[in-house]
Copies of this chain bind each other. A is one copy, B any other.
Amino acid sequence: MAGGGGELQLLGSWYSPYAIRAKIALGLKGLSYEYIEQDLSSKSELLLKSNPVHKKVPVLIHGGRPVCESLVVLEYVDEAWAGDGPPLLPADANDRATARFWTNYFDSTFFPSWRALYRSTTAEQRAEAFRNAVPQVETLERAFGECSKGKAFFGGDAVGLVDVVIGSFVLWFRVVDDVAGTNLLDQAKSPGLAAWAERFLAVDAVREAMPDAELLLEHYKEFLAKFASPAGST
């Protein structure tokens, strides 16, 4: 494993749940870094040079070497600073596989389903997207049981990889619920997830990484206004 030395910079966008993942991980490890906000509508030379393949945030630059893609960044932070802060992944190989399975599930299966709700602009679209998302929430509720084994977080007693990956979306879930009139992590239907979300948002490193909920709501409303308008979608 590489040591933890070298200058550390994070390229992110304040509203990006993927960049929030990196911020939370760096916070949990207690690492100092320079945060460089990126305007994704006018990408910087530094971003294009650091992530020429995807041109996306987050990018973690450590001693001049860029690490791209949020899941890759999280595992990198866990490995490069294995001695600092709590581990994001458990020690047991089977538990590690379970954690990686659920992070992959969230990004590859849950997210595309929820994105339909996020992109909906009419009541009909919202009702259908929400109906389609419900089975995925039920699957995540079961995942919480499987990963947490009765403890507070997916990672057990402390925040781990799955918490960071899913938790980075919690404010986004609420903002979309607010506009759509839905309740994704319903206390009656997903009691494990609903209580977990509150505990997650109360963690110091999470609070420090999260954007302001009001600003996020404004940002989402602006997105919807552009998205719903044909002129904005060019």
Interchain CB contact under 8 A, B101 and A79: no
- The answer to whether the Cβ of A188 comes within 8 Å of any Cβ in the partner chain is no
Chain B residues contacting A231 (CB-CB under 8 Å) are none
Chain B residues contacting A123 (CB-CB under 8 Å) are none
Interchain CB contact under 8 A, A72 and B94: no
- The answer to whether the Cβ of A97 comes within 8 Å of any Cβ in the partner chain is yes
Using A53-B139, A105-B53 as known contacts, say yes or no to A72 and B92 having CB atoms under 8 A apart.
Answer: no
Interchain CB contact under 8 A, A96 and B69: no
Which residue of B62, B104, B109 is within 8 Å of A72 (Cβ)?
A: B104
Chain B residues contacting A2 (CB-CB under 8 Å) are 92-94
Chain B residues contacting A91 (CB-CB under 8 Å) are 1
Interchain CB contact under 8 A, B104 and A80: no
Interchain CB contact under 8 A, A94 and B65: yes
Using A53-B139, A139-B53 as known contacts, say yes or no to A76 and B104 having CB atoms under 8 A apart.
Answer: no
- The answer to whether the Cβ of A216 comes within 8 Å of any Cβ in the partner chain is no
Chain B, residue nearest A102 (CB): B53
**A38-67 CB contact bits vs B (8 Å, 1 = yes)?**
000000000000000110000000100101
A59–chain B nearest beta-carbon distance, Å: 11
Using A75-B100, A104-B72, A139-B53 as known contacts, say yes or no to A67 and B94 having CB atoms under 8 A apart.
Answer: yes
- The answer to whether the Cβ of A161 comes within 8 Å of any Cβ in the partner chain is no
